[in-house]
Amino acid sequence: MLTLRDLARELDVPVRSGEEQLDVPVRWVHISELEDPTPWLSGGELLLTTGLGLSTDEGQRAFVEAVADHGLAGLGFGVGFAHERVPDAMLEAARERGFPILEIPYELPFIAVTEKAFTRLVNEQYAVLQRSIAAQERLQRIVLSERGLDAIVAAIAALVGGTTFVFDGRGELQSSHTFRRAIEEPVRRQIGQELADRARRGERRVFVPSDPDLGPRALALPILAADTSERGGVPQAWLVAVKDTGGLSELDRLVLHQAVTVVALELLRHRVADTTERRLAGDVLKALVAGETDGAELTRRLQPFGLGGEVTALVVQTTAPGGTSVAACEAAVSAALRDEAVSGLVARADRLVVALMPGAEDEELFDLAQRIVARVTAQSASPPNAGVGRAVAAGLAREAYHEARCAMEARLLGGELPASAPAVATYRDLGSFQLLLSLQDSDALRLYCDSLLSPIEQGEGHYGGELMRSLEAFIECNGQWEAAARRLYCHRHTLRYRIRKIEELTGRDLGSARDRIEFWLALRGREIAVRRPTRADPAAPALAAVAPFEDAAAAGGRRA
């Protein structure tokens, strides 16, 4: 860092005022003979002048006051031209303000001063650039070695010499590392709140946190996503650094600006990995629900998710209004699993969130499900509906899914629950519905389902599919017209017409709870019967036509 003291010593020029301010850094050197050069200066410069236009005491005093107030590093006054020495009025004004003035003798041309200063400045900038490149390479190696966000934040803290934070776009702390001097928790919360306030206002510029104790030691930089609109939008994250002692140097600021790119790359890597995992999880779950994979193949596909042995399913249905709540529910379930240190697979199945988890004894399993749903409830505007199945072999995971879903829906069909009821439904809530759902004879199950549903599908041709979707939505909403119409994106009068058509085709009354329950059993039974072997199937003896709720011992499960 070039200072006035260094420059005065190397040039061997006398200091006429402001000796106590000689250690301020010199950012640049500028030459001007204007009476007011401040419009062309930005602060931190050493200004060289011969005072050609400064002939009066008032003008000389005003000149010094203007450049001092503008934040210049100092003044180099060339003598031997308009003035044989530095004017007394200028010295008086400079001493009042502690403003440095160097006397440049006639024998020393201004070009020699600028060359000396520029050589030092260029060398310093080159050294800073080299060090910043080394810092960038260090951070890039951490990203390439996939050591994670915490390792990157720790490296930034060491490079800057202070505490470093990464907050998300809404001010929630994602990672932090302390170099030597810890930041107090109230200060950290205040920084997070300031970021949250900026997110609400749509601000995404670099800023200095407002805490007066931080001052020039701190800097907050936005980390913008690649798809962030130029018109605005909340940054995906913030990088905040607080130096332990002293202000942030030019190198510190350069390192932080470079670190923003590295942190953005790490967040992008995380997002791509999470997206890939969610897509794979969704593919596995879709195949599982549709009955497209089971047995050894399903076991093989579940192993990468830490589900090689017994598994169970937790089904969560958000009750909050709006479609985006399903995504929030999925994120909350995933976070709850991480907090519980449970490996598993979380994905969406239509309007449900399904988590496949390692199996356990019934009571232990139910307690875990209650804790997970409690965590989800704490982050939701309204408590979700949920059901959990018993532990089964990984190849039979579809059965655990259907048991969890049917238990949840069976309890909802049963009406309003007492306040003391558990938050998560289990097989114990199936009641008499378990008898039908546990039929060992697949042909009998199909026959029952077809007796109710075939008139709808076959009586209206291609329109039968629309009637079936309307029927399922109407039942899932427990006969509530407005809720079912919103789910189908149609007018309630359109839905009433479709339900009347279903009643005409089947001879049933969907205003009756008994008939709604029978349709619900038929819809669920058909899902369960998908890809079950029939009696004519030569593979039937080997597969044993496993039912979803048969004895747990035969299914490889456990009973409490």
Q: What is the pLDDT of residues 446-499, one digit of tens each?
A: 666 777 788 887 776 677 788 888 888 888 787 888 888 888 888 988 989 988
Fold of the domain spanning 291-425: Alpha-Beta Plaits (3.30.70)
Instruction: Quote the CA–CA distance of 73 and 118 in Å, as a whole number.
Output: 15
Q: Tokens representing 411? A: 């309890």
What pLDDT was estimated at residue 421?
58
Cα angle: 478, vertex 493, 451; to 5 degrees: 55
Instruction: Quote the CA–CA distance of 208 and 243 in Å, as a whole number.
Output: 12
pLDDT of 253 higher than 50: yes
pLDDT of 513 higher than 70: yes
The fraction of the chain above a pLDDT of 90, given in percent, is 15
Q: For residue range 284-296, what is the model confidence (pLDDT) as tens digits? A: 888 887 778 878 8
Class of residue 237 by CB neighbours under 10 A (exposed 0-12, middle 13-18, buried 19+): buried
For domain 4-108, is the CATH number 3.40.50.300? no
pLDDT of 548 higher than 90: no
What pLDDT was estimated at residue 211?
85
Identify the three-state secondary structure at position 206. Answer: coil
Nearest to 306 by CA among 276, 324, 281, 275: 281
Q: What is the arithmetic mean of pLDDT over 320-328?
A: 66
What's the CATH code, domain 441-544?
Answer: 1.10.10.2840
Instruction: Quote the CA–CA distance of 530 and 8 in Å, as a whole number.
Output: 89
Identify the three-state secondary structure at position 348. Answer: strand
Instruction: Quote the CA–CA distance of 24 and 44 in Å, as a whole number.
Output: 8
DSSP letter for each residue of 386-432: EEEPPPEEGGGHHHHHHHHHHHHHHHHHT-PPPTTS-SSB-GGG-TT
Instruction: Quote the CA–CA distance of 463 and 459 in Å, as a whole number.
Output: 9
pLDDT of 323 higher than 70: no
Q: Is the CB of residue 480 less than 8 Å from the CB of residue 499?
A: no
Nearest to 176 by CA among 166, 162, 188, 186: 166
Q: Is the CB of residue 132 less than 8 Å from the CB of residue 258?
A: yes
Q: What is the arithmetic mean of pLDDT over 301-329?
A: 79
DSSP letter for each residue of 489-541: TS-HHHHHHHHHHHHHHH---TTSHHHHHHHHHHHHHHHHHTTPPPTT-TTHH
Q: Residue 77 — very low, low, confident or very high, per pLDDT cuts 50/70/90? A: very high
Q: For residue range 145-183, what is the model confidence (pLDDT) as tens digits? A: 888 889 999 999 988 888 999 998 878 888 999 988 888
Q: Which of 119-133, 218-232, 319-333, 465-479 has the lowest mean pLDDT?
A: 218-232
Q: Choose between 233 and 145: higher pLDDT.
A: 145
What pLDDT was estimated at residue 458?
78
Instruction: Quote the CA–CA distance of 105 and 109 in Å, as a whole number.
Output: 8
What pLDDT was estimated at residue 343?
76
pLDDT of 189 higher than 60: yes
Whole-number mean pLDDT of the chain? 80
Q: Is the CB of residue 310 less than 8 Å from the CB of residue 556?
A: yes
What pLDDT was estimated at residue 533?
40
What pLDDT was estimated at residue 530?
55
Same fold, 4-108 and 441-544: no
What pLDDT was estimated at residue 539?
34
Q: Residue 303 — very low, low, confident or very high, per pLDDT cuts 50/70/90? A: confident
Give domain limits for the chain.
4-108, 136-268, 291-425, 441-544
Return the CATH number of 136-268, one of 3.40.50.300, 3.60.70.12, 3.30.450.30, 3.30.70.20.
Answer: 3.30.450.30
pLDDT of 26 higher than 70: yes
Q: Residue 435 — very low, low, confident or very high, per pLDDT cuts 50/70/90? A: low
Of the ranges 17-31, 312-326, 538-552, which is most confident? 17-31
Q: Is the CB of residue 37 less than 8 Å from the CB of residue 30?
A: yes
Q: For residue range 82-125, what is the model confidence (pLDDT) as tens digits? A: 899 999 999 999 999 899 999 999 999 999 999 888 888 777 77
